[in-house]
Amino acid sequence: MPRRPARKRSGIFMPAAIALVCAALLLAGHRMGGDAQVDALLDAIAKNRTFITSSIALETGLTVPASDALADDTPQAEASTWVAAESAPPPASTAEGTAAADTSTDSLPTAQDKRDTDISVRNDAGLAVDVDAMLADPIEIHATGEGPQVLIYHTHSTEAYTPDGSDTYTPSGDYRTRDKNQNVVRIGTELTKVLEARGIGVVHITDIFDDPAYNGSYGRSLAAAEQALAEHPEIQVTIDLHRDAILTDDGQQYRLATTLGGVDVAQLMLVIGTDASGLEHPNWEQNMNFAVNLQADLNGAYPGLMRDVNLRAQRFNTHLRPGSILLECGASGNTLAEAIRAVQLFGNVLADHLLA
């Protein structure tokens, strides 16, 4: 199995401190009536990958390659297929609402009628987890009540895929666009269609939370999700739907894909947050139980579709419900069509799981 390229590490704590001090001085000048030049410098600093990398290192003690600093803050687990994708930047020519990928389900593979309980977990939280016990005693979450049962939202709403055919867009950043027909919001729309076709009510929040400001996107999406849950307390499951980003140091995009029934589909990953970072999260073990049992259904239905379940120290807004997950649908190297196929498969298995 191809592996991720090795990455160089370097000491960046002193540059981090210097960069942060400089940024603080500029911000102080701005607040005291700084001019346009100060604003421009602040904007440049906010977009500088080295500054972001250094800041992350100073805050967390983790050395992060500059090429990953602006990538999604979810993990990069090993996958069964790592394919280098074309790394040309997205074209900047088409208008929002461009005709997108064919969403026909006619060519999708047939699910295998089995359950695979051989679950692999990438435990980045360092917490004790008994997967076998969770599989033996699954949490009961069923979409059998009145009103919407599933909430879908997107903390990093502008995340997009590699342009392909008619699936092109006006970018708002590297593999990002505000075009909701081409970014990860579209993936949520397709998942909504699948669940509603199965009789499961869905609230889909399509607001953009990560543009123009990326920092604070989790706080903004949390506020929107909490409002939706206050209006619909009957919701059982929340899904923060993302796409991953995996880059080499030279900026090469990776495509996470597998072939099922002769059809190329993006690979998916369930991410579960915890209280290991210090934030309150009383139900993370219930989230994990829900995830590993759903993963067993997905692994059985479509072998190779799922990456390892990833347990994280960060909370990632997964404290909202016992059935809260973060779902990574493909990566920036995938096409929109591959991601749509993957989430359609996921949606039908999720529906089976919730309607059981």
What is the rounded distance in angstroms from the CA atom of residue 113 to the CA atom of residue 339?
23
Local confidence band at 32 (pLDDT 50, 70, 90 cut-offs): very low
What residues form DSSP beta bridges with 160? 183
> What is residue 162's three-state secondary structure?
coil
> What are 83's two structure tokens?
């394919």
Query: Average model confidence (pLDDT) for the chain?
Result: 80
Residue 83 to residues 178, 211, 248, Cα–Cα distance (Å): 26, 29, 12
Output the pLDDT for position 106.
66
**Mean pLDDT lowest for which of 46-55, 300-309, 320-329?**
46-55
**How much is the pTM?**
0.75
Q: Does pLDDT of 331 surpass 50? A: yes
Tell me the one-letter amino acid at 100.
Answer: A
In angstroms, the first-to-last Cα distance of the chain is: 36
Contact (CB, 8 A) for 108 and 344:
yes
pLDDT tens digits, 11-28: 434 444 444 445 554 444
Q: Give 80 or 349, the one with higher predicted confidence.
A: 349
> What is the per-residue pLDDT across 239-287, written as a single tens digit (0 to 9) for each?
999 999 998 788 889 999 999 999 999 999 999 999 999 999 999 999 9
Average pLDDT over residues 304-333: 97
pLDDT at 248: 73
User: In which residue are the tokens 């700084």 written?
Assistant: 34
Per-residue pLDDT tens digits for 66-125 = 333 333 343 333 333 444 443 334 444 344 444 456 676 667 899 998 999 999 999 999
Roughly what angle, to the nearest 10 degrees, separates helices 13-31 and 36-47? 150
- The confidence score (pLDDT) of residue 100 equals 53
Count of beta carbons in the 10 Å neighbourhood of residue 12: 19
Does a cis peptide bond (omega within 30 degrees of 0) precede residue 212? yes
Phi, psi values for residue 133, rounded to 5°: -65, -35
**Residues in contact with 259: Cβ distance below 8 Å, sequence separation at least 6, in sequence order:** 265, 304
3-state helix, strand, coil in the chain (%, to 5): 35, 15, 50
| CA separation for the pair 276, 280 (Å, rounded) | 9
Percent of residues, the chain, with pLDDT higher than 90 = 66
